[in-house]
A and B are shown apart, each in its own frame.
Chain A
Amino acid sequence: MADNRRNTSVTMRTPRARVKGLGASGHGAGHFWQQRLTAAANAPLMLGFIVIVAMMANRPYPEAVALMSHPLVALLLILAVISVTLHMRIGMQVVIEDYVHSKGLKLVSLFANNAYAVVVAVACLYAILRVSLGKLV
């Protein structure tokens, strides 16, 4: 938990406890790490994604579904969607925190950012599962 009181000088909490509380922002370096872990995962996953998109070009519907139903393709896409949406959510949060200064608008923007990331992630994951497990063709 973050220590958000105005005056932190009168406290029974030790400096170590405050540090363990991860400082003023409340989540310390967590986002920094998550951004780099997802970035490292994104590079190979998106190169795989490009190969899949290229292979999907000009395929009639049944063959497109067949390719997307392949377990390796579906698993790679699922991993890519998870990693990319986590990465873009943090990235946009940094942009919002840098440029949106009004407190209300910032809250709305951060909420919209989270909502967008969740909608994109859930839509993609549902579609991948439906195509690979739904026996569409």
Chain B
Amino acid sequence: MNREKDKTDRILRIAEIMINELKLEDVTPASFDPDMDLVDEVGIDSMDLATVALVLQDEYGIRIDEDDYPKLTTVRLIAEYIEEKLSE
């Protein structure tokens, strides 16, 4: 139960960071579809992704390898990636 809540909270926090850093309009963390493709549907580019990755590194105390960027295509996948890093 707690694990599911942690996951949901993390998804919301990542969405919040995404919205703040990329100045996305007309969307809130709660309304941000975690399965939306960030490149195709949100329209983020490599510079946006790098910016968000730097902030996420600070937030969670992890290192996000540059080579892993291509995997981080949705908020949910980013949340799972972070979870994996935290468990290492």
Decide whether A and B are members of one complex.
Answer: no
**Which A residues fall within an 8 A CB radius of B?**
none
- Taking Cβ atoms with an 8 Å cutoff, the residues of B that contact A are none
